[in-house]
Amino acid sequence: MSTVTPSDKDSKPGDSDSSGKQCDTKPQRRRRLGVPHAAKLYHNLVPAYQAFWPAVAGRNIRMAIGRMEMAAGAKVLEVGVGTGLSLPNYPTHIDLTGIDLSESMLAEAEAMIDRNRWQHVDVQAMNAESLDFEDNQFDVVTSFHTVSVVSNPTRMMSEIVRVCRPGGQILIINHFRSDNPLIARVVDSAGNVTRRLGWRTDLELETIMSELPIRIEERYKPNPFSFFTIMRAICKPNQIN
Ligand SMILES: C[S@@+](CC[C@H](N)C(=O)[O-])C[C@H]1O[C@@H](n2cnc3c(N)ncnc32)[C@H](O)[C@@H]1O
């Protein structure tokens, strides 16, 4: 597993090298953050999470990424990459950065990267609500099952839009509150339990996305009974040259 050297820690995303090219953040793995409550919670959840989550979520992620077109060399950011469940599903011709608040989750993702000797993926400790990247840096930004666990989902989505270039793609998989009032009420009642796991069930897709400068291209359920919605949007469509 890679370690953080002092020089790694000192470099910042967006720094330039001598050629003036934007330096990638690849050597910066595992920049340390404080330990906000969400990170601690997910540290404790890693074993349980790895036991059941891949079966629940893996197929949806595979399907959603498989439907995306990502050009060779495309800069892709995954927000809330966790243990790296999604990583094997991305094409290897892209330049992928994953961020997460939890260092324990990231340690698992790093182990996977090292095991597979992937050169195209890097993971970093970072808060989704205040991303340490320049505006318009990424061609694609993805996030799976994270917008309902961060403290401020609106801020996270604004950050995603900020770092995604005009015309770039945004892919979100999450549980959103059902449009069916009966189902919504039943699921809301489970919210008291899931909130203790740091996961809210009452997030409404319209409320959270409607103010953002995005154009929703697709919004669908992986199957009619799924708890999850997959949304793909074009970022800042009015600013495309
Ligand atoms: C339910 S897990 C999903 C992980 C992964 N996307 C997946 O589908 O397997 C939610 C992830 O969000 C991360 N997280 C929570 N709050 C965060 C924040 N403010 N910034 C970045 N990551 C955060 C957690 O550490 C956790 O890895």
Q: Is the CB of 110 under 6 A from ligand 1?
A: no
30 or 77, greater pLDDT: 77
Assess contact for 166 and 239: CB atoms under 8 A.
yes
pLDDT in the model for residue 42: 66
- The pLDDT confidence band at residue 203, using thresholds 50, 70 and 90, is confident
Query: Tens of pLDDT along 209-235?
Result: 999 999 999 999 998 888 899 999 999
Q: Is the CB of 153 under 6 A from ligand 1?
A: no
In the chain, the amino acid numbered 204 is E
Query: Tens of pLDDT along 31-85?
Result: 555 445 566 666 676 777 677 778 878 999 999 999 999 999 999 999 999 999 9
pLDDT in the model for residue 177: 75
Assess contact for 78 and 169: CB atoms under 8 A.
no
Residue nearest to atom 3 of ligand 1 (CA): 145
- Domains recognised in the chain with CATH numbers: 29-239 (3.40.50.150)
DSSP for 89-127 reads: GS-TTSEEEEEES-HHHHHHHHHHHHHHT-SSEEEEE--
Which atom of ligand 1 lies at the shortest distance from residue 143's CA?
6
Query: Tens of pLDDT along 135-187?
Result: 999 999 999 999 999 999 999 999 999 999 999 999 999 988 777 776 767 66
Query: Tens of pLDDT along 89-148?
Result: 999 999 999 999 999 999 999 999 999 999 999 999 999 999 999 999 999 999 999 999
Which atom of ligand 1 lies at the shortest distance from residue 128's CA?
20
CA distance 182 to 118: 46
How far from 199 is each of 109, 186, 188, 226, CA to CA, in Å? Answer: 21, 16, 12, 17
Query: Tens of pLDDT along 81-90?
Result: 999 999 999 9
Q: How far apart are the CA of 81 and the centre of ligand 1, in A?
A: 6
Q: Is the CB of 80 under 6 A from ligand 1?
A: yes
CA distance 182 to 204: 15
Residue nearest to atom 26 of ligand 1 (CA): 82
Q: Is the CB of 109 under 6 A from ligand 1?
A: no
Of 196, 187, 195, nearest to 228 (Cα)?
187
Look over the chain and give the mean of its residue pLDDT values, rounded to a whole number.
Answer: 82
Q: Is the CB of 174 under 6 A from ligand 1?
A: no
